[in-house]
Structure 1
Amino acid sequence: MAIEKMVEGRLRKYFEDVVLMEQKFVMNDTINVKMLLNNLSKEVGSPVKIGNFFRMEVGEGIQRLEESTASEPVAQAV
């Protein structure tokens, strides 16, 4: 019984991290994307679906400056 609950909790956490519809909504982290779409569908009166989405990771696209060695001038790193 306890093992089943542990497995269920870990699966729920995994799905919250990986599955788009189960992820927390960025603007309001108390609801997930599925609940947001359901609420919008009720508001508009017709089904709302996600057509496209863009996936980004934290820090993706940021160019990191490599640590310059003592022989390189600082101006070249900038």
Structure 2
Amino acid sequence: MSGALGDLETAAPELREAVRAFLTTGCNATAAAARLYLHRNTLLRRLARAERLLPTPLSDNLLPVGVALEIHRWRGTAP
């Protein structure tokens, strides 16, 4: 799991949740921001911070990152 998430695995929960919401809305930042009750720019800043923690760009690893985040959540290690 940590292979796909890199340092995002131990980052602030709101960063993981921002990425997860972004992925579950089909990479729609506006919908993800609404789902999280955030301003779109706040979500975009969180995604940028999360992107810097991932070992590879999110756009290149959507499925592995999404699966790793769900596993992380199922284990009770995410909000």
Instruction: Answer yes or no: same fold by TM over 0.5.
Output: no
User: TM-score, length-normalised on structure 2?
Assistant: 0.25
Higher relative contact order, structure no. (Cα contacts within 8 Å, ≥ 6 residues apart): 2
- The higher radius of gyration belongs to 1
TM-score normalised according to structure 1 size? 0.26
